[in-house]
Structure 1
């Protein structure tokens, strides 16, 4: 029902997949055959295979503070293999604060720390990466961008 709602409203489906990569890839792919829809792989920390399946469907991967954790190199490598035009930043607040706030309550302002890591992953300066992820957000959440432009 959520995928049908995404199709009907033109709003992106938000998926937080954990320990269900094969099922998730299969379901999302099967549903695409029933009609196009957009999707964010929220707080992405899954496998390279699920990332590739999602990207092949035209979806976005969202980078949370997990990507900034010192032991998350494999996850950073997965993001690095994705087109930067398909990357978003998020907090997952109040959880998963990036260093130097790990273990504390996450705040929206801390996306700057995750963004700095994202910029490094993509070999970009911070301002360019921030502008790119904003453009990605505006493209995916076009209704919000249109509302903001009209305000």
Structure 2
């Protein structure tokens, strides 16, 4: 079953000797159960994120989250706590080798929504490109958020 949902994303990227950069985004998307204990969350990127024309999908399984982007930017990033994954990040300007080392990950989803939190280090062409943390809150469209 697919649900229309409201997705609130907060991302923080830190670089050595610089103030962290924080972005926040609220958008509409779809949440669907995928198999017995997995979920798929997807939404269209906008001009605000600089990825307009790209569909972003999170495939959430126990112990693993895969981020897929298809469109103007094509990429796949795999998050597993305590593991490092390499992938290619294809942009209109060329391809980059991207390494993702996940320090902490928590994903709790149900048909009503839930949350995903991932803390990871990013390498681009084998050079550390920053520390990242993103939190995603998902709720069914029309439901209010409890604080």
Greater helix fraction, Structure 1 or Structure 2: 1
Greater strand fraction, Structure 1 or Structure 2: 2
Q: TM-score when scaled to structure 2?
A: 0.28
Structure with the bigger RCO (C-alpha within 8 Å, sep 6+) is 2
